[in-house]
A and B are shown apart, each in its own frame.
Chain A
């Protein structure tokens, strides 16, 4: 049930109605039933996996909790007879056992994810290798289904297990309420990734029918539809025109590739953030606040900053469950110490600063897919971010010597442009038909620029999958997106500002916006409105 379909909005309206009509203590149950109904719609066979993950994670959480509780009871029973050392020893002992359970359960969850999602990709790569070495052999593919939202609910479950293992909060005792956390229908398809301590608790709490929640949620959904249907699905024609054929065919020059990558950047942002807005808006209408997933990534001043603004919930997840553990793990600490002894404190500091991003971005790369392009893109990001950390002293010296005012607007514009260029390269690595094509395209980006094309003087720009009228619409829509972004960057809260306006203006604006989406959106039976890109990850 795509989030942009009328069916979804009928479903959502029905769920919201039922949610507020039933007694508050049953609201969570309405959500659970709705979530499973939503999930069942994607195919009965998919339900098996989400149920299995839910049960496995739920009982694993309870097991870890009971180990901790038993130990606590033991410590309390022994009371003052227990020495501090003995107490510490008991805690350590149980922590070790919990850790073992945690590692096993996390690995099982990851193993399920990897086998369902990546096994055939890996087998394909093995077959490619056979072909490369001209061996007359092939490994048969396995007939596997990839359940809807597999990555998202698996990551949510893993986060929960790690938090329980760390003792951050107690394991959820109610199976139904835990199942709701795993399957909550607005966010099960493409996130954002939720933390049990935040969203899991909110889902269990009763919510009153609040006008502001309904209104703000609906506005957020509208904004999401605008990004997805008007921008992403419209510019997708340009991106697929440029990136669908091999660059070796020589069809496009650097300017056309630049145009294509700009289009793709807006497509992927509009698609993913638009989908997240619909998700968050739907949840907000029921009084549930899901985490922010995007914070105007087009205004990022560095790649590091970009990853704090793009897919923020994945970034936060990686930071919490991968980045810090890698930074603080024994091998990295030992290596850091060795480096410090041999090459000084700067070198020692650099070890965790390089190792952690490398692992994180490698994982982010393969999270998107086990293809050489995603892996290379992950390493590209990791290398740049690690290098930027390592180069901080050099930058600082340079800035000091050249008397650069880093507070100036022009410096910020420079930073944004620099980041944009680096991101364009990253996008080309992923979107090009192959790594080889990506290399050629990146080279062309800097070597063959045709301003007549970019400025539309020779009319070639209208042969890239969109007509002149559509191009005008795209430019206008992107301007709306950027203007709103600038206002938000400057601290304006759009929905709050809108709420303060006179009712006539407010209604006229919202009605005009609804009409704009209805007329200019890409949807309906004569259009092939693409599915959400991140629904596939």
Chain B
């Protein structure tokens, strides 16, 4: 083999690698809720234009309307969430957030720690949702992949210890081409999110679904799942280390939802641990409230299911939480910053137009059903 042939071979393998990475982007975990785009938008922001990120699950992106907070108070707080990702991946989500922005405040949704069971199959899907939302070559993604493989192996010895489909999702998801609704455009991750990460799930976003009241008992505690408890304490240690090496502030949050007693008991336990470990946790439950919530959320009109607010609930929550953030943290008004304006201005009007469209569609649907 000549030197030229050797160099050509290396170049060819590099071309293959680039192609495989591109294909991994097109054939990865289902992008129904635009997780890829949410991360893409965040990566595209100019440095130092986001002051806080809210990390977590669906308990974030359906409650927090970043464009509204920006319009009302000028704060740039971005929801960098994926649906119910597993607790062991939390530290990688934080690292990924800090890779792109020097945020002053980390807001951490506690929902990843509230699961009653650590079902590995559910966790597998959720892990992939988060991992596949990151760029294929992100070091946090790679670390998260290996961590997930290790945990899968701990829980299920029959699973392959080195499951390359985590690193190269095309191995698992290449068959998506045969799905009726598959389109390249929807799966390409370098498309920005239209509403700065606020999650619109068509009808559900504007649909009210009345919820029952479950009384809240602040003294009722339920032990955490042992696996999850371990990850939780590991995560808290990790946050302590992070704070020791930087001046970043951390706030835990539990966004309001309709919870049964066991679920509430788990959350209470988490609040307690957080406080014991010296962190602050904001939640909106009140034993004395008729709705069980300490804020004005209407169980008849503000939720689209028991675990998530609709747009109107989200609007209320955003206003209240924005005020809390401004009152307690040093978040600047960024509305005059041209670097911020370029990405944040006008988004809220677009969102309101979209909501109006959805309301119109819902109204037409209801009218059609009536007639």
CA distance A209 to B23 in the complex (A): 32
B175, A526: Cβ atoms closer than 8 Å? yes
- By a CB distance below 8 angstroms, the chain A residues around B15 are 507, 511
As a 0/1 sequence over residues 187 to 212 of chain A, the CB contacts with chain B under 8 angstroms (1 = contact) are 00000000000000000000001110
13 A–B contacts, CB within 8 A, in A order: A210-B1, A211-B5, A469-B177, A519-B170, A519-B174, A520-B174, A520-B177, A523-B171, A524-B172, A524-B174, A525-B171, A526-B175, A527-B175
Q: Given A469-B178, A524-B172, A524-B174, A514 and B19 touching (CB < 8 A)? A: yes
Within 8 A of B (CB), among A504-533: 507, 510-511, 514-515, 518-521, 523-527
Q: Distance (Å) between the CB of A522 and the closest chain B CB?
A: 8
- By a CB distance below 8 angstroms, the chain B residues around A460 are none
B171, A211: Cβ atoms closer than 8 Å? no
Using a CB–CB cutoff of 8 Å, the interface residues on chain A facing chain B are 6, 209-211, 214, 467, 469-470, 503, 507, 510-511, 514-515, 518-521, 523-527
Q: Which are the 6 A-B pairs with shortest beta-carbon distances?
A: A211-B5, A211-B1, A524-B171, A469-B178, A209-B1, A519-B174
- By a CB distance below 8 angstroms, the chain B residues around A514 are 16, 19
CA distance A523 to B177 in the complex (A): 14
A519, B19: Cβ atoms closer than 8 Å? no
Smallest CB-CB separation from A511: which chain B residue?
Answer: B19
- By a CB distance below 8 angstroms, the chain A residues around B170 are 518-519
CA distance A475 to B123 in the complex (A): 38
B177, A519: Cβ atoms closer than 8 Å? yes
A524, B23: Cβ atoms closer than 8 Å? no
- Is the C-beta of B320 less than 8 angstroms from some C-beta in chain A? no
CA distance A209 to B16 in the complex (A): 22
CA distance A514 to B160 in the complex (A): 25
B19, A515: Cβ atoms closer than 8 Å? yes
- By a CB distance below 8 angstroms, the chain B residues around A469 are 177-178
Question: Which of B2, B160, B178 has the most chain A CB within a 10 Å cutoff?
Answer: B178
Smallest CB-CB separation from A512: which chain B residue?
Answer: B19
B1, A511: Cβ atoms closer than 8 Å? no
- A6-B171, A507-B15, A519-B177 provided; 20 other pairs, C-beta below 8 A? A6-B164, A210-B1, A211-B1, A470-B178, A503-B8, A510-B12, A511-B16, A518-B23, A519-B23, A519-B174, A520-B174, A520-B177, A524-B171, A524-B172, A524-B174, A525-B160, A526-B172, A526-B173, A526-B175, A527-B175
- By a CB distance below 8 angstroms, the chain A residues around B165 are 524-525
- By a CB distance below 8 angstroms, the chain A residues around B20 are 518
- By a CB distance below 8 angstroms, the chain A residues around B175 are 524, 526-527
CA distance A236 to B18 in the complex (A): 32
Count residues of B near A (Cβ-Cβ below 8 Å).
Answer: 24
CA distance A510 to B178 in the complex (A): 23
- Is the C-beta of B64 less than 8 angstroms from some C-beta in chain A? no
Q: Distance (Å) between the CB of B276 and the closest chain A CB?
A: 41
CA distance A357 to B19 in the complex (A): 51
- By a CB distance below 8 angstroms, the chain B residues around A209 are 1
Smallest CB-CB separation from A210: which chain B residue?
Answer: B1
Within 8 A of A (CB), among B135-192: 160, 163-165, 170-175, 177-178
- By a CB distance below 8 angstroms, the chain B residues around A470 are 178
CA distance A518 to B16 in the complex (A): 11
* 8 Å CB contact of B12 from A507, A518, A523: A507
CA distance A480 to B177 in the complex (A): 20
- By a CB distance below 8 angstroms, the chain A residues around B2 are 211
- Is the C-beta of B353 less than 8 angstroms from some C-beta in chain A? no
Smallest CB-CB separation from A213: which chain B residue?
Answer: B1
CA distance A523 to B172 in the complex (A): 8
- By a CB distance below 8 angstroms, the chain A residues around B195 are none
- By a CB distance below 8 angstroms, the chain A residues around B1 are 209-211, 214
- Is the C-beta of B85 less than 8 angstroms from some C-beta in chain A? no
- By a CB distance below 8 angstroms, the chain A residues around B177 are 469, 519-520
- Is the C-beta of B130 less than 8 angstroms from some C-beta in chain A? no
- By a CB distance below 8 angstroms, the chain A residues around B172 are 524-526
Q: Distance (Å) between the CB of B176 and the closest chain A CB?
A: 9
B27, A519: Cβ atoms closer than 8 Å? yes
CA distance A525 to B2 in the complex (A): 39
- Is the C-beta of B9 less than 8 angstroms from some C-beta in chain A? yes
CA distance A314 to B119 in the complex (A): 51
CA distance A510 to B174 in the complex (A): 19
- By a CB distance below 8 angstroms, the chain B residues around A519 are 23, 27, 170, 174, 177
Smallest CB-CB separation from B18: which chain A residue?
Answer: A511
- By a CB distance below 8 angstroms, the chain B residues around A524 are 165, 171-172, 174-175
B23, A467: Cβ atoms closer than 8 Å? no
CA distance A28 to B87 in the complex (A): 51
- By a CB distance below 8 angstroms, the chain A residues around B160 are 525
Smallest CB-CB separation from B176: which chain A residue?
Answer: A519
CA distance A31 to B128 in the complex (A): 39
Smallest CB-CB separation from A527: which chain B residue?
Answer: B175
Q: Distance (Å) between the CB of B1 and the closest chain A CB?
A: 4
- By a CB distance below 8 angstroms, the chain B residues around A527 are 175
CA distance A527 to B172 in the complex (A): 8
Q: Distance (Å) between the CB of B297 and the closest chain A CB?
A: 40
CA distance A319 to B139 in the complex (A): 59
CA distance A209 to B9 in the complex (A): 13
- By a CB distance below 8 angstroms, the chain B residues around A507 are 12, 15
As a 0/1 sequence over residues 92 to 120 of chain B, the CB contacts with chain A under 8 angstroms (1 = contact) are 00000000000000000000000000000
CA distance A6 to B166 in the complex (A): 14
Smallest CB-CB separation from A469: which chain B residue?
Answer: B178
Q: Distance (Å) between the CB of A518 and the closest chain B CB?
A: 6
CA distance A110 to B15 in the complex (A): 50
Smallest CB-CB separation from A506: which chain B residue?
Answer: B12
Q: Distance (Å) between the CB of B309 and the closest chain A CB?
A: 34
- By a CB distance below 8 angstroms, the chain B residues around A503 are 8
CA distance A209 to B5 in the complex (A): 11
CA distance A527 to B1 in the complex (A): 38
CA distance A521 to B172 in the complex (A): 11
CA distance A210 to B20 in the complex (A): 26
